[in-house]
Amino acid sequence: MAATAASLRLAITTGEPAGIGPDITLQALLAEMEAPGSAHHACTYTVIGDRTLLAERAALLGIAPAWQRALDSGRVAIAHVPLGVPCIPGQLDTQNGAYVLAVLDEAIDGCQHGRYHGMVTAPLQKSVIADTGIAFTGHTEYLAERTGTPHVVMMLAGPQPAHANAMLRVALATTHLPLRAVADAITTPLLVDALHIIAHDLRRRFGLPKPRILVTGLNPHAGEQGHLGREEIDVIIPALQQAAADGLDVRGPYPADTLFQPRYLQDADCVLAMYHDQGLAPLKYGTFGHGINVTLGLPLIRTSVDHGTALDLAGTGRAEYGSMRAALQAAVDMARCELSARDATA
């Protein structure tokens, strides 16, 4: 799509209707549009979801007049997708599983057909969709499948606890897998491919010219020279050697329990962790509520929040929306970075 940064249009998917997705979408969007000097003053938005649900949630949160003003401003449109059944905040209903996917599909199709420059996703409840009989483990895997991308990489990022100006970025070699399946899923080609995807996207969408990537081991103490597991020797070190031979700045494997400290992180742009909780527990301890989730390797830009549906908080006004604001900002920054990279290539 021919565009300038001034004409960016973002899609926002409102996620699980019984969760805080609709709440934080409305609150974050209004806050970003009203913030002085916000990068968002140049953007327009399409909020994808049920129009009545959004109006009801705005009323519950006491922001109905501001929401109406945003709609009247011409900068915010709703792409109406009807709910399967009316929604009560906090109460999941599998009859709305298909709705959540229809919302997501509109954003994916819109990005693929040039209606949107990127998509920002509010959290969804994976189990509700899976309970409808559709195999679903997360946005990341669904986006890969829907866009025909064989390999994508989940990366979460947030301000480093010890250096607020520096970002902590943690990418995952495996995503939503039972722990029992993790070791078998990690192969040398998978890791080499993941390292290339991370380096490519950090260059193209984050403007980092030569990304420095630290890689964790899989086993305690990175395998203790093979005495506590052989994956480091047989799988991870060969992947690091291959990636280094390909010209990437990669180091490791490091014991995951001691890697997440400023001494190591200050010289890195990203950590590649082997599995979900190995990488996300330390990241979320430091950044929960302010971080973002990005899918690397996709032909489209997708950012999201660092938290889930928080059913207990839906409609109460007590959900924090800082992560959703960060996801909106990141999508704008990434879209601009990609447009610049495209212009430079042209």
Ligand X SMILES: N[C@H](C(=O)O)[C@H](O)COP(=O)(O)O
Residues that bind ligand X (CB under 6 A): 138-140, 280, 293, 304, 306
Q: Which does 174 bind (CB under 5 to 8 A by kind): ligand X, ligand NAD, none?
A: none
Distance CA 132, CA 134 (A): 6
List residues near ligand NAD by CB under 6 A: 20, 123-127, 139, 293, 304-305, 307-310, 312-313, 319-320
Spatial separation of the C-alpha atoms in residues 211 and 166, rounded to whole Å: 14
Report what 280 binds from ligand NAD, ligand X, none; CB cut-off 5-8 Å by kind. ligand X
User: Where would I find the H helices in the chain?
Assistant: 21-34, 51-61, 64-72, 97-112, 126-131, 139-146, 179-185, 188-204, 231, 237-245, 256-259, 262-265, 276-287, 322-345
CB of 232 to ligand NAD, least distance (A): 29
Q: How far is the CB of 304 from ligand X (least distance, A)?
A: 5
Q: What is the DSSP string of 262-277?
A: HHHHTT-SEEEESSHH
Q: In terms of CB distance, is 138 or 253 closer to ligand X?
A: 138
Q: How many CA atoms lie within 13 A of 102 on its CB side?
A: 14
The binder of 310, among ligand X, ligand NAD, none, by C-beta within 5 to 8 A per type, is ligand NAD
Nearest to 315 by CA among 80, 51, 26: 26
Q: How far is the CB of 4 from ligand NAD (least distance, A)?
A: 30
d(CA 247, CA 237): 15
3-class DSSP state of 64:
helix
> What is the closest distance, in whole angstroms, from the C-beta atom of residue 124 to ligand X in the complex?
7
Say which entry of ligand X, ligand NAD, none residue 196 contacts (CB below 5 to 8 A, set by partner kind).
none
- The residue nearest ligand X at its CB is 138
Cβ distance to ligand X smaller for residue 14 or 304: 304
- CB of 21: closest distance to ligand NAD in angstroms? 8
The CB-of-40 to ligand X minimum distance in angstroms stands at: 22
Please list the residues that pair with 76 across neighbouring strands. Answer: 45
Burial class, 184, CB count within 10 angstroms (exposed 0-12 / middle 13-18 / buried 19+): exposed
Complex with ligand NAD: residue 255 or 308, whichever CB lies closer:
308
Looking only at the bridges linking them, the beta strands covering 292-296 and 302-305 are: antiparallel
Q: Which is nearer to ligand X, 237 or 294 (CB)?
A: 294
Contact of residue 337 among ligand NAD, ligand X, none (CB under 5-8 Å per partner type):
none
CB of 219 closer than 8 Å to CB of 228: yes
* 255, interface contact from ligand X, ligand NAD, none, CB < 5-8 Å by kind: none
Q: Which residue's C-beta sits nearest to ligand NAD?
A: 308
